[in-house]
Every structure is written in C-alpha cells, then in structure tokens.
C-alpha cells in the first residue's frame, strides 16, 4: 500500500513538474504548450518501447524498431497533427503507430520451429492486424475538418466510432 501511494505521489509530482515546465517554456521561449505536450507524449511512448526492448537483451530487432518508431514520431510533428490543439488523445497518435512498428519487428523476427511457436506467431499476426486497424482509424482522424477549423477530443472519438461502425456494417 505504501509503495503504491508513493508511486501515485511521484506521478502527480511529475505531472505538476511537466505543466510548470511547459508553461514556462511557453512564456519564456515562446514554445507552444501543444508542442511541449506532444514531445512529452512521443518521449513517453519511446520510453515504453525502450523498456519493452530491454526484455530482449542481445537481439537487434528491438533497437531497429525503436529507431523506426523515433523517426515516425518525429515525422508526425510535420503532419496535420502539428496544427491541431493539444488533447488527451495525442498519446494515441504516437502510441498506436509505435505498437504497429514494434509488433511488426517482433513478428518478422519471431523464430518458428514447432507447433507452439507457430501458434504464438499467429497471435502476433492477429495483434498486428488489430493494431494496424486502430492506428489507421486514429491517423485518419487527423484529416477530418471541423467547422471551426479545430477538432475537439469528443469530435475525434465520435468520428472514429462512426468510421468503425460504417466499416463493420459494410462487411
């Protein structure tokens, strides 16, 4: 109980520190809060990938996936996402493609020598297909215009659900 409370307290202090730093950067250096927030989201996704890749010591594929994910995250800053206001869902714009990259690298390099490993690889492929679908839906949300020129988080979620419902009913 004590360690859980300590972790929650550290997380809250981290959030407070981030907000203070982000507002200071906005006031002093002119860096918008949305950019600082997105850099933090991308950094957190890459950190999680780094943590997962440490479970595979001596293998090259996690490092290659990490480099590809970093390049993709950097490219997202030059996409229409960069013109949108910051929202709570921004971490998904970085996390979903990172998951696709990580699963692709793991699926390609997973060794198959028996029936059990073949079943695991099939599960990896299914997870990759689902991650690709979710990532495609999230990435397509960036291109839907809003009458005000901005998109709210509720609008993004609504549009994503409408697209998913239409895709399911067409099948």
What pLDDT, on the 0 to 100 scale, is given for residue 154? Answer: 45
Can you give the pLDDT of all 171 residues of the chain as single tens digits?
A: 677 788 778 777 877 787 788 788 777 888 787 888 888 888 888 888 888 888 888 888 888 899 999 999 888 888 777 777 777 777 888 888 888 999 999 888 888 888 898 998 899 899 999 989 988 888 787 777 655 555 544 455 555 555 655 655 654
Residue 28: CB atoms within 10 A of its CB come to 8
What pLDDT, on the 0 to 100 scale, is given for residue 30? Answer: 82
What pLDDT, on the 0 to 100 scale, is given for residue 153? Answer: 46
pTM: 0.70
Dist. CA 91–CA 40, nearest whole Å: 9
What pLDDT, on the 0 to 100 scale, is given for residue 145? Answer: 63
What pLDDT, on the 0 to 100 scale, is given for residue 150? Answer: 53
Dist. CA 139–CA 136, nearest whole Å: 5
**Backbone dihedral region for residue 46 (phi beyond 0: left; psi -120 to 50: alpha; all else: beta):** alpha
Burial classification of residue 2, based on how many CB atoms lie within 10 Å of its CB (0-12 exposed, 13-18 middle, 19 or more buried): exposed
What pLDDT, on the 0 to 100 scale, is given for residue 129? Answer: 92
What pLDDT, on the 0 to 100 scale, is given for residue 163? Answer: 62
HEC secondary structure over 90-143: HHHHHHHHHHHHHHHHHHHHCCCCCHHHHHHHHHHHHHHHHHHHHHHHHHHHCC
Structure tokens at 41: 């989201």
């Amino acid at each position: 109980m004590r360690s859980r409370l300590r972790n929650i307290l550290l997380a809250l202090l981290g959030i407070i520190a981030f907000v203070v730093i982000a507002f200071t950067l906005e006031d002093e250096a002119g860096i918008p809060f949305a950019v600082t927030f997105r850099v933090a989201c991308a950094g957190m996704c890459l950190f999680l990938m780094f943590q997962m890749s440490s479970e595979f010591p001596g293998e090259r594929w996690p490092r290659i996936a990490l480099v590809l994910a970093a390049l993709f995250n950097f490219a997202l800053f030059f996409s229409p996402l960069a013109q949108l206001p910051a929202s709570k869902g921004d971490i998904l714009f970085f996390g979903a493609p990172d998951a696709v990259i990580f699963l692709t690298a793991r699926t390609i390099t997973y060794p198959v020598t028996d029936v059990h490993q073949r079943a695991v690889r099939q599960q990896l492929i299914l997870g990759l297909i689902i991650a690709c679908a979710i990532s495609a839906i999230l990435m397509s949300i960036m291109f839907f215009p809003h009458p005000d020129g901005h998109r709210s988080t509720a609008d993004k979620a609504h549009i994503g659900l409408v697209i998913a419902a239409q895709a399911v009913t067409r099948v």
